[in-house]
Amino acid sequence: MPNVGKSQSTADRRQHFVELAQGIFPSEHITVEHDELRVLGTDWTRNFEVSPLAAVFPTSIDQVAELVQMANVHHFPLVPSGGRTGLSGGCVATSDEIVVSFDRMNRILHFDPVDRLVHCQAGVVTAQLQQFAAEHGLTYPVDFSSSGSSQIGGNIATNAGGIRVIRHGMTRDWVAGMKVVTGKGDVLEFNRGLVKNATGYDLRHLFIGSEGTLGFIVEAEMQLGTAPSPQRVMVLGVGKLADLLSILQRFKQTVNLSAFEFFSDLAMSKVLQHSTLRRPLRETTEYYALIEYDEDQSELATQAFSDCLDQGWVVDGVLSQSNSQTDDLWRLRDGITESIAGYVPYKNDVSVRISQVPEFLDDIDGLVKEHYPDLEVCWFGHIGDGNLHLNILKPPELDINEFQERCRAINPLLFKQIQRRGGSISAEHGVGLLKRDYLEFSRETSEIDAMREIKHVFDPNGIMNPGKLLLPQ
């Protein structure tokens, strides 16, 4: 077989790939159709020009392994694609890559009720796993606003977090085993669902959060948990950012929290404009806290609320009285990303230790007011985990490139603040393309070098999601 040289035109390369891919996939599982590729080659960031060469839809591990082996021989870069709900450009195909979609590997293969383990393919959608767990009287508690379309493989590849990390942890905490196809085309199985396994390096954890740079996650053993007791939700109106932390502490001491989220009035007003929801409180305050806790602790929660009122930290509050009211209160928070999507926001997803949050918030608030006095800045996030989302909204009249340029100009200042506090420039969205150039603000040079060496072990020819997470060399 001839090697595909760089001099070949895109059309020739595409043609060559299709000919080779037809030896692995049925024709209907290969596409070069422009509109389809545009969708398959992007994620929710919408900031990048996409230009995949082709896309394939494997239905088996063997097909994935064969594809990787072929891609190594013929130098085709591969980009994994799950639910495409990522927010950092981690699965965006910008340079003639082959998109590998897991949409057709979406089956739950086995459930063991004793181990409470679900063996599933990578393309199983988060909500499908949650539903499966509920049907068996159990729970898969990792949850996000994108649960309806995000896939388990993508969740693992980015170690997705979400809204209940404060109680249930990140995706990492629920992966009991995994099968991967490495960038060399080897099929490896990690941990096999064991609770205890002290046999050296746990390679499973290297692949979790690796953003498709080491290989493809093709199957996983996901742990299920005990079904949750009924939950209640409160939304509190808060005047000052710093008071949010005092409220968090007060509630943490009193009740078993499953979420402690916050959003600014601006963020909520975008959701209200976008929906039929109504303001939850009579008073308008600059910030709101959404607190979820066990229903049987409602009396204790009400006591904590009164204490916060007495302290002057809280101005007003509402407690859900029914499931539909709980859903509506959650929609005020869950609906933010979608309702601001039209502003092509510049996203930041940062974290510091919880104890550092008040001072960090002050610093960042000052920075934002100084540098973006004319731009709308939406604050929200998982304040109970020290994770803040800062979305800068593009005014309709401002050119997109000029807008992004302005936002990027502030990044070093913002990231220096994070570095000074030992925080992270990406708490839960991953690095992808969006934060790749700033990795050094969260990782030592020697650590980044070690990451490169690890990548080389699993992906010696650099075909796996090139240019993501690590700068090309």
Residues that bind ligand 2HG (CB under 6 A): 87, 145, 337, 347, 349, 389, 391
- Could you tell me the smallest distance in angstroms from the CB atom of residue 381 to ligand 2HG? 6
Q: How many C-beta atoms lie closer than 10 Å to residue 21's C-beta? A: 23
Q: How far is CA 343 from the centre of its chain?
A: 20
Q: How far is the CB of 392 from ligand 2HG (least distance, A)?
A: 10
Q: Minimum CB separation from ligand 2HG for residue 424, in Å?
A: 14
How many Å apart are CA 220 and CA 365, to the nearest integer? 41
Measured from the CB atom, the residue of 86 and 193 that comes closer to ligand 2HG is 86
* Contact by Cβ (8 Å): 4, 76: yes
Q: What distance in Å separates the CA atoms of residue 73 and residue 121, rounded to the nearest whole number?
A: 27
Which residue, 159 or 391, is less far from ligand 2HG as judged by CB?
391
- Least spacing, CB of residue 45 vs ligand 2HG, in Å: 10
Quickly tell me which residue has 């000919």 as its tokens.
19
* Nearer of residues 270 and 347 to ligand 2HG, judged by Cβ: 347
CB of 201 to ligand 2HG, least distance (A): 30
Nearest residue to 358 via CA among 210, 459, 243: 243
If the CB atoms of residues 118 and 340 are measured against ligand 2HG, the closer one turns out to be 340
The minimum distance between CB 437 and ligand 2HG, in angstroms, equals 19
Based on its alpha-carbon atoms, the radius of gyration of the chain, rounded to whole angstroms, reads 23
Q: Measured from the CB atom, is 232 or 389 closer to ligand 2HG? A: 389
Report the residue number, 214 or 271, with the smaller CB distance to ligand 2HG: 271
Beta sheet of 231-238, edge-to-edge order = 314-319, 231-238, 287-294, 257-264, 376-382, 387-393, 346-351
Enumerate residues 6+ apart whose C-beta is below 8 A from 327.
none
Nearer of residues 87 and 133 to ligand 2HG, judged by Cβ: 87
Query: 204 vs 347, which CB is nearer to ligand 2HG?
Result: 347
- Least distance in Å: CB of 247 to ligand 2HG? 19
Of the candidates 328, 311, 271, 310, the residue with the CA atom closest to the CA atom of residue 319: 328
Q: Shortest approach of ligand 2HG to residue 385 CB, angstroms?
A: 10
Buried b / exposed e over 81-120, threshold 16 CB at 10 Å, is bbbbbbbbbbbbbbeebbbbbbbbbbeeeebeeeebbbbb
Least Å distance, CB 337 to ligand 2HG, is 4
Query: Which residue's Cβ lies closest to ligand 2HG?
Result: 337
Cβ 164 to ligand 2HG shortest distance, Å: 11
Q: How many residues does the chain have?
A: 473
Q: Which of 99, 88, 87, 90 is nearest to 39 (CA)?
A: 99
Paired with 351 in beta bridges are 387, 424
Angle at 42 between CA 36 and CA 43, to 5 degrees: 130
- The per-residue DSSP string of 66-82 comes to HHHHHHHHHT--EEEES
d(CA 88, CA 263): 21
Nearer to ligand 2HG, 250 or 347 (CB): 347
Identify which of residues 72 and 391 has a Cβ nearer to ligand 2HG in the complex: 391
Distance CA 347, CA 393 (A): 9
